[in-house]
Amino acid sequence: MLEQSDHPIYLDHAATMPLLPIVKQQMQEALLADYGNASSLHQRGHMAHQIVEAARSQIARLINADPAEIIFTSGGSESNNTVMETFRDRKVAVSAIEHPSVLESAKARASQVTILPVDAEGRVSPADISPDVDLVSVMLANNEIGTLEPLAAIAKHCKKHNIFVHTDATQAFGKIKIDVRTLGVDYMTLSAHKIGGPIGVGVLYVKQGSPYHPLILGGHQENRRRAGTTNIIGIAGFGAAAAWCWDHWSCRKWAGVAKLRNELKQRILQEIPYCTCNTPAEHSLPHILNLSFAAAEGESIQLYLSEQGIYVGTGSACAAGDLRPSHVIMATKHDAEIAHNSIRFALGLDTTEADIERVMQVLPPIIARLRDMSTIKLGEKDVSI
């Protein structure tokens, strides 16, 4: 029935993407070149400086920013924390489905945090934003269910009331076209490892003239905006990944992944009864598919799939370190069981038809087995598609 796969199928690209070959190559080159401290004035320092500035430009052009508006950080989490540090003791509104690095850093620093509700698809409505907040933070795309937020409309609403706007674009970056000018945002978070760059390096875009307060003090680096000796190898990798996205029209490639994602969705909904789709039909990233399988707990599904060489994510409390169900599914579906039973497939550019076929060979018997073991009887609760 269940056969061991010949090659593993990685469907967790929203957690992290494998390094692109060109990224590995350029990071190796940077490693082998005896670079200096990017701040040093001698020749080696200058070499390092050039690597960093090239990367800055490569990332800036992908979002239509000026290189001077790009600040390198240690990742998406630091970028999000930096925005909240800037708005310490101010009034902040964040969506209910933000990444914890937005939610928790806002709660730790702001004088008042308003949680913006989302609809069943995870979308924020600009009308819910109160005019008296100082900052609104709504992600461009959600990492668990893939929802695309109406950011341009949100920013337009905020500008009317002189509210600053931050968007965590960690998941959307490289997948959909992003233009900070037409979006009208003041701050944007990016992370290298979600586009095939290395883990541990990110960017905060800060629009010229927007308020800014560094999170990490004690050095003149990044124009006094982020202290710490520059992470040259990481930044070289981030630059290479951004250049790859630009050169290969990555957004077009990712848009093509939607076909396979939709096929997977259709087949699961047709071949496995009692499933709920948590990813919006429209307004979603092309590669994310989040589904819940009634009566089958997510960590168990995930580990049975892992045993078959298929790697996915889950929103189940059992798989979370803090044993809390996904706040994203709770905010959209308001149902703990749907959260516990959720599985996230995040396809990659190299996912094939054959991979989808293998998932469809392996997944239905796993769900059937877990349902057979489960205390929950199917159909006892109304599960709608």
Partner 1 sequence: MSQSENTPHTSIIAQNCEKVNTKITSGASPSTSWVYSDLVKEHFLNPCNFLMGDEAQFACDAIGVVGNPVCGDQMKMFLVIKDGKISDVRWKTYGCASAIAATSALSELIKGKTLDEALTVGPETITAYLGGLPEHKVHCSVLGHEALAAAIANYRKKP
Ligand X SMILES: Cc1ncc(COP(=O)(O)O)c(C=O)c1O
CA 341 to chain centre: 21
Q: Helices (H) and strands (E) in the chain — how many of each?
A: 13, 13
Q: Give residues with Cβ within 8 angstroms of 338, minimum separation 6.
A: 276, 278, 292, 329
* Minimum distance from residue 3 beta carbon to ligand X (Å): 33
Exactly one of 93, 185, 319, 362 binds partner 1 (CB under 8 A); that residue is 319
Q: Kindly state the DSSP code that residue 148 receives in the 8-state scheme.
A: B
Nearer to ligand X, 202 or 298 (CB): 202
CA 115 to CA 105: how far, in whole Å? Answer: 13
* Minimum distance from residue 296 beta carbon to partner 1 (Å): 8
Residue 76 binds which entry of ligand X, partner 1, none, with Cβ cut-offs from 5 to 8 Å by kind? ligand X
Q: Residue 95: phi, psi to the nearest 5? A: -75, 160
Catalytic position from the list 158, 251, 275, 318: 318
Residue 319 binds which entry of ligand X, partner 1, none, with Cβ cut-offs from 5 to 8 Å by kind? partner 1
Nearer to ligand X, 146 or 298 (CB): 146
Residue 143 binds which entry of ligand X, partner 1, none, with Cβ cut-offs from 5 to 8 Å by kind? ligand X
Query: Is residue 109 close enough to count as binding ligand X by CB under 6 A?
Result: no
User: What's the full length of the chain, in residues?
Assistant: 385
Query: Is residue 12 close enough to count as binding partner 1 by CB under 8 A?
Result: no
Query: Is residue 226 close enough to count as binding ligand X by CB under 6 A?
Result: no
* Minimum distance from residue 342 beta carbon to ligand X (Å): 16
Sequence-ordered strand ranges (E) for 301-341: 310-311, 313-314
Nearer to ligand X, 13 or 99 (CB): 99
* Minimum distance from residue 74 beta carbon to ligand X (Å): 7
Q: What is the DSSP string of 277-292?
A: E-S-SSSB-SSEEEEE
Residues 78-107 binding ligand X (CB under 6 A) are: 99, 101
Query: Is residue 295 close enough to count as binding partner 1 by CB under 8 A?
Result: yes
Q: Which stretch binds partner 1 (CB under 8 A): 106-114, 121-129, 136-144, 303-311?
A: 303-311
* Minimum distance from residue 31 beta carbon to partner 1 (Å): 26
Query: Which H helix or E strand runs over 168?
Result: strand 164-168
CA 57 to CA 70: how far, in whole Å? Answer: 9
Q: Residue 179: phi, psi to the nearest 5? A: -135, 110
Query: Is residue 191 close enough to count as binding ligand X by CB under 6 A?
Result: yes
Q: What share of the chain is helix, strand, coil (3-state, %, to 5)?
A: 45, 15, 40
* Minimum distance from residue 174 beta carbon to ligand X (Å): 13
Query: Is residue 204 close enough to count as binding partner 1 by CB under 8 A?
Result: no
CA 312 to CA 246: how far, in whole Å? Answer: 28
* Minimum distance from residue 127 beta carbon to ligand X (Å): 24
Query: Which H helix or E strand runs over 86?
Result: helix 76-86
Q: What is the DSSP string of 19-72?
A: PPHHHHHHHHHHHHTT---TT--SHHHHHHHHHHHHHHHHHHHHTT--GGGEEE
Nearer to partner 1, 32 or 323 (CB): 323
Residues 22-81 binding ligand X (CB under 6 A) are: 75-77
Residues 127-146 binding ligand X (CB under 6 A) are: 139, 143
| CA distance to 2, 144, 348, 381, per residue, from 366 (Å) | 9, 22, 23, 21
Q: Kindly state the DSSP code that residue 128 receives in the 8-state scheme.
A: G
Nearer to partner 1, 201 or 319 (CB): 319
Query: Is residue 372 close enough to count as binding partner 1 by CB under 8 A?
Result: yes
The Cα angle at residue 204 between residues 18 and 46, in degrees rounded to 5: 85
Query: Is residue 31 close enough to count as binding partner 1 by CB under 8 A?
Result: no
Exactly one of 3, 132, 247, 307 binds partner 1 (CB under 8 A); that residue is 307
275 is catalytic: no
Query: Is residue 300 close enough to count as binding partner 1 by CB under 8 A?
Result: yes
Task: Cite the active site residues.
Answer: 318
**Positions in the binding site for ligand X (CB under 6 A):** 75-77, 99, 101, 139, 143, 168, 170-171, 191, 193, 202
